[in-house]
A and B are shown apart, each in its own frame.
Chain A
Amino acid sequence: MKSFKFIKLYAFAGILLFTFSCKKPNEDVPVIELQDNRVFVINEGPFQSGTGSLSIINRDSLTVQNNVFEKINNRPLGNLVQSMEVFEDKAYIVVNNANRVEIADAESLLSLGTIENLNMPRYFLGISTEKAYVSCMDNTVAVVNLNNNTITKNIACGTGPERMLLVENKTFVLNLGAYSVDSTISVINTGVDTVSATIVLAAKPNGICNDKNGNLWIICSGNGWNGWPQASDSKGHLFCINPNDYSIIKDIEFPTNTEHPEKLVINKSKDVLFYVMTDGIYEFEISSTELNTNPFIACNTMFYGLGFDDKIEYIYGTDAKDFVQNGWVYRYNSIDGALVDSFNIGIAPNGFCFN
Chain B
Amino acid sequence: MTTTRTPPLEITNLRKRYGRKVAVDDLSLRVNEGEIFGILGPNGAGKTTTVECAEGLRHPDGGTVRVFGIDPYRDRAEARQLVGVQLQESQLPDKITVAEAVSLYASFYPRHADTEALIARLGLTEKRNARYRKLSGGQKQRLSIALALVGSPRLVVFDELTTGLDPAARRQSWKLVEELRDDGVTVLLVTHYADEAERLCDRVALIQAGRLAACGRPDELISRSTAVLPSGIHATLDDAIVALTTGEAR
Does A associate with B in a complex? no
Using a CB–CB distance below 8 Å, which chain A residues touch chain B? none
Using a CB–CB distance below 8 Å, which chain B residues touch chain A? none
